[in-house]
Structure 1
Amino acid sequence: MSAWGEHVTAALLGTRRRPVPPLEEIPDGPADPAARLLDQAALLTVRRRAGWRPVGAEPTAPAPAETAPLVPDAAAERLRRILAGEHARVLPEWLEAAARSGRRVPPHLLPDLLHKGRADRALRPSIARAAGRRGVWLAMQHVDWAYLVVTGGGAEVEDPGVWSTGTRAEREAHLRWSRAADPAAARATLSSTWPREPAPERARFLTAFERGLSLADEEFLETALDDRGLEVRRIAADLLARLPGTAYARRMTERARACLRAETGPAGGPERLVAAPPERHDEGMLRDGIPYHAAERVGNHAGWLREILARTPLSTWTERFGLPPEHVVALPVGTGARLAPDEHARRDVHLGWARAAARQRDAAWARALLAGDVVPGDVRTLADLLDVLPGAEREDQAAEAVRRIEDPTGRLTVLDRVPGPWSGALADVTITTLADTAAGRFPADLCRLAGERLAPATASRLDELARRHPGHRPLTELADVLRFRHDMLEELR
């Protein structure tokens, strides 16, 4: 028996029943037999490991050659500080700026960066753009970093065999890549295994159809409306609601026309709208994604009306009334025989239209609804409408909304939906809002968001505000992060 085997036997039987085997390397060990056995086992372990040689192992392929240059030394040092926790929230901006400049992360910082992406999924696309080829190579050596292989695409994701043999994440990445490259092929791929997929997987895979969505997907999505999975049916209905010209759109249009009609005036044109929510809920409505119970604190009938309008093509109303969106939105809304405008009915109709505009990405309707101030109190819907507008116009509209909204939480909800860097009117109203609170506490959430979104060129204005109000920590930190971002972006030019 080997020396190691003898020590194992002694440990199993106990030193009272089996004496500790002698070991030349430790002639004078501890007096206690158990302690001496452990000391000798430790020595044997080190000796065994030091002498171990891999059998049949193949050497790891070297990292591929890089084509992109490294970021400058100053930028690399700043990234090290960010990864160590200094202004960590600006990491996505650093990564995007590096990718825009065509540069990559230094190799010695890749492990810490990939570890960040393991915990924060939102960072992964930015990491994939800035990590370079070595980042993907490194991710292939470590299971916890394998997300980068999926996020970054490449041969691993494009390989059709992934659909049969890959992990769930790899299959989903392959389907999303395929939808971007060839939507019809992706649809055929999913169709080939659809009946065998678990309901949660069917739902996740179906979200990939947001890419390249077209009328060619209608038949597949109509079938999914009858799926046994509730979430699958919901996603299919939401996707169909974005497609005009489908049977789904025609069903919704028929329901919507029964719910909303126009009364003509003396001149023959529409004078007001009359809203009449559905009297009952049926199986067809349920199949098309209209739940029986309203998700909001309104009556079910009002909830059905909002949901129907939200899923109806907006062209229905411009064609039916012969008016542009801004004129349709301006029409008063009543109910039944009541001649006076009904504020509740107006709110239900306009909220339905607003959600349709957000879903259908219709900037003309979003613009008309925002101009009419038709979503008072529904800040989330207002923020959804802002998402539809082009960048510069979005900032101006967001600035106007912040001026109107008195609730700090509502202001933050709107601002959170506007990507940076903020300049012009939106920067002005944000800084003014901060200055107006100088007599009290500076809202930490607003300061934190402003630090991430305000254009770094506004740093001097915030420095001055911070000097006028020393001791206000959130404001001081805001000024500091703006200076930090300014220097950061200069290093990556």
Structure 2
Amino acid sequence: MQLWTDIVSNALLGTDKQAPVTAGWPEDFTTALTHINGNTAIDKEEKFLQLAALAFNYRQSGSLPLHKEDAGIPTASEEIRPGCSMAAIQAFNDVVAEDNEGLLQLWLECCAASQQIAHPYMLPALLDKAISQKALRPLVESCAGERGKWLAQFNPDWKMPAAVSLEEQWQTGTLAQRKAALAQLSETDPAAARAWLQQTWPQENANARADLLSSLRPIVFAEDSSWLEVLLNEKSVKVKEVVMHLLRMQPGSSIVKLYWQVAQQAISIKKEKALLGLSSKTTLQVKLPDTVDENIFKYGIERLSSNKKIPDEAYIVEQLVQAVPPHLWENHLQETPEKIITLFTEHSAGGRLYAALESAASKFRNAQWAKLLVAEGNRFYYPLVYALEPAEREPYIIRSLTKTPEDVMTYLRQEVEGEWSLPLTRAVLEYACKSPYSYNRLFFSKRAHQLPVEILASLDSISPQRPEQHVNDAWNDIRAHIKKLLVLKQQIINAFQ
């Protein structure tokens, strides 16, 4: 179109060098051209702009867009799961308004468990949450449905990674992804996880070997630690450290057997005559042999104590007690576990030896010894929780709230993820209400999903009963906040029933 070419040329040269285009216009534009050119109230630049606007609209009139097959945005696949109810939508809105991550996770878990999906208008908020709270991403992907997958393609931050099998993730993923795949497989099939790593071991570099091996729990090698024994010959110091750590957790490993050879030489019992020789007394004798196998220091036992109050020899013995399964002492000392614990406690280094037994019982998951140790101990040693039988864990935690409450509260904050039982919740609240400035609204907001809704029935009966009115007032405010959170939690549960 020559007219438009002339207009563009006029714009490039300027109206001082080239007068506005008047030729080449169709006859139908005569009236408009006469009106623009005859208008003395505007300058030549304004006339040019009006002519250019007229030419542009003329050029665009009647034009058709380019045709391209399959152009446009594909529609989302049809949903196969039903959308959530209005009650669930309202509960979601309330959770978002409360900005409570734990309750949002509960909402997503309930939605996924009920095989439902989120309402379309909820998707942007859900996908945004998956950006800031990556732990929620799998649940968000499940609850977003097909429309969520479709919508995510329009925002790079929302983009959902393509679903891949664990084996594909192991074969083609980054080191971090491979570690995650290996760790996940080891939870369900330890033998297969071990086989995966053995197959690729020759191709891995030293750093990858150490990282991948460290992602496996000791239980993976519980049935067969022979491969770990071979890996003790690795050149990489980093790899050897990981290997030694795993072998120290295997009761039948060569390292633990080496420790036991020295430990049983260092500890024995002696029967002495009591007063007037009428009875005998059994005491624990602790002394390293004159010649100690130097390999124990090569495989993790520290030779020197960092505490000036603890002699090097005593420090070595304590490490050895920590490093061997506690049940071995029964046959060696020919005594019951109860008697052995008493003998260790009565020794001059009893406190440290008792702590070493606690460490050993937790490391080797000895439920019998763990039960005896928690009954006798005066502190809360949380690794023992995992060695206890499930039915014995909570009573130990609740008992410890009266002995070392802050240790228990730290454990609950850092280690416990699921919902607390009603007795545990009541015990925690009865302790926390006395320190409302430490255990404030934020503390309970972070644990709203862990509080059972049944505690609502007795929440009003929990009070600090302190003379300071400000403490009572602070707790009343926190209690009201807890009630609000529990009502919201109940709302979520009811919405998916």
Residue 356 of structure 2 corresponds to 352
Q: Which residue matches 1:157?
A: 165
1:352-371 aligned at under 5 Å gives the runs: 352-371=356-375
Deviation of 1:65 after TM superposition, in Å, equals 6.1
Match of 2:323 in 1: 311
CA contact (8 A) 2:130 2:136 kept: yes
Structure-2 separation of matches of 1:54 and 1:211: 59
Of the structure 1 ranges 304-313 and 281-290, higher mean CA displacement relative to structure 2 is found in 281-290
How far off is 1:401 after superposition? 0.3
1:487 maps to a residue whose letter is Q
> How far is the alpha carbon of 1:236 from its aligned partner?
2.5
**What SS class does the counterpart of residue 272 from structure 1 fall into?**
strand
Corresponding residue for residue 91 of structure 1: 104
Cα offset for 1:436? 3.7
SS in 2 for 1:209: coil
Distance 1:450 1:89, change over 3 A: closer
- Secondary structure of the residue aligned to 2:270 is strand
Q: Does the 8 Å contact 1:225/1:237 carry over to 2?
A: yes
Which residue of 246, 251, 257 maps to 2:258?
A: 251
Partner residue, 1:422:
420
Q: 2:217 aligns with which of 202, 210, 214?
A: 210
Q: Structure 1 residues 176, 420: closer, same or farther in 2, change over 3 A?
A: closer
Q: Percent identity?
A: 24
Matched, 1:443 2:439: yes
Q: What SS is found at the alignment partner of 2:355?
A: helix
Question: Could you tell me which residue of structure 1 aligns to residue 300 of structure 2?
Answer: 289
Contact map agreement 1:233 1:289 (CA 8 A) in 2? no
| Structure 1 residue 254 displacement after superposition | 1.6
Alpha carbons 2:267, 2:285 under 8 Å: kept: yes
Q: Does the 8 A contact of 2:448 with 2:486 survive in 1?
A: yes
Secondary structure (helix, strand or coil) at the match of 1:370 reads helix
CA displacement at 1:131 relative to structure 2: 6.2
The answer to whether the 8 Å contact 2:218/2:246 transfers is no
CA distance in 2, matches of 1:297, 1:111: 61
Size of the aligned set, in residue pairs, is 448
CA-to-aligned-CA distance 1:74-132 (integer Å, 9 cap, x gap): 22442344345522233333344444445455565455445544544544565577666
Offset from partner CA, 1:132-186 (integer Å, 9 cap, x none): 687788889987567865xxxx6x22445x4443322442344335445654443
Equivalent in the alignment of 2:455: 458
Higher alpha-carbon Rg: 2
Within a 5 Å distance, the mapping from 1:366-385 to structure 2 comes to 366-373=370-377, 376=379, 379=380, 382-385=381-384
Q: Which amino acid aligns with 2:407?
A: G
Question: What SS class does the counterpart of residue 384 from structure 2 fall into?
Answer: helix
Conserved 8 A contact 1:225-1:288? no
The aligned counterpart of 2:39 is none
Alpha-carbon offset, residue 430 of structure 1: 1.8
Q: Answer whether contact 1:363 1:389 (CA < 8 A) is retained.
A: yes
| Amino acid aligned to 1:91 | L
Matched, 1:171 2:168: no
Give 1:327's aligned residue.
Answer: 339
Please identify, of 118-127 and 315-324, the stretch whose mean Cα deviation from structure 2 is larger.
118-127
- Select the structure with the greater relative contact order (CA < 8 A; seq sep ≥ 6): 2
CA contact (8 A) 2:234 2:240 kept: yes
Q: 1:396 is matched with which residue?
A: 395
State how far apart, in whole Å, the 2-side matches of 1:227 and 1:15 are. 77
Cα distance in structure 1, aligned partners of 2:296 and 2:412: 35
What is the match of residue 274 of structure 1?
285
Q: Secondary structure at the match of 2:268?
A: strand
Per the TM alignment, residue 370 of structure 1 is displaced from its structure 2 partner at its CA by 0.8
In structure 2, do the counterparts of structure 1 residues 471 and 246 end up closer, same or farther at CA, with 3 Å as the change threshold?
closer
Contact 1:95–1:127 (Cα < 8 Å) also in 2:
yes
Change (3 A) 1:81 1:349: same
> Alpha-carbon deviations, 1:469-493, whole Å to 9, x = none?
4455444323322222222223233
Change (3 A) 1:166 1:347: same
Q: Mean alpha-carbon deviation: is it higher for 278-287 or for 116-125? A: 278-287
* C-alpha contact 1:262 1:270 (8 A) present in aligned 2: no
CA, structure 1 residues 158+410, in 2 after alignment: closer, same or farther (shift >3 Å)? closer
CA distance in 2, matches of 1:312, 1:147: 47
Q: Go from structure 1 to structure 2 and tell me whether the alpha carbon gap of 1:348 and 1:196 turns closer, same or farther (over 3 Å shift).
A: farther
Once the two structures are TM-superposed, the CA of residue 429 in structure 1 deviates from its matched residue by 2.0
SS in 1 for 2:373: helix
Of 254-263 and 460-469, more deviation after overlay is shown by 460-469
- Give the counterpart letter for 1:371 in structure 2: A
2:198 — aligned with what?
Answer: 191
State the distance in 2 between where 1:200 and 1:389 align. Answer: 36
Contact 1:412–1:446, Cα closer than 8 Å, also in 2: no
* Structure 1 position 283, deviation (Å): 6.5
The 3-state SS of whatever aligns with 1:213 is helix
Cα distance in 1 between the residues matched to 2:67 and 2:238: 53
Deviation at 1:297, TM superposition (A): 9.3
Q: What residue ranges of structure 1 are gaps of 5+ in the alignment?
A: 1-13, 32-49, 335-340
Paired AA for residue 458 in structure 1: I
Deviation at residue 350 of structure 1 after TM alignment: 2.0
Cα distance change of structure 1 residues 174 and 489 upon mapping to structure 2, 3 Å threshold: same
Deviation at 1:402, TM superposition (A): 0.6
The range that moved more, 244-253 or 140-149, is 140-149
Deviations, residues 438-472 of structure 1 (Å, cap 9, x unaligned): 7xx46327545664433211124335658994455
Unpaired runs of 5+ in structure 2?
Answer: 1-11, 22-35, 37-41, 46-63
Aligned to 2:24: none
Match of 1:271, SS state, is strand
- One-letter amino acid matched to 1:312: V
> Structure 2 vs 1, CA of residues 295 and 99 (structure 1 numbering), >3 Å: closer, same or farther?
farther
Q: CA deviation at 1:372?
A: 0.5
CA RMSD of aligned residues (A): 5.3
| DSSP 3-state at the match of 1:366 | helix
Distance 1:482 1:424 in 2: 13
AA aligned to 1:236 is V
> TM-score normalised to the size of structure 2?
0.69
AA matched with 1:318: E
Distance 1:459 1:392, change over 3 A: farther
Structure-2 change in CA distance of 1:430 and 1:220 (3 Å) = same
Given that 1:313 and 1:356 are in contact with CA atoms closer than 8 Å, whether structure 2 keeps it comes out as yes
User: CA distance change for structure 1 residues 402 and 264 in 2, over 3 Å: closer, same or farther?
Assistant: same
User: By how many angstroms is 1:399 displaced?
Assistant: 1.0
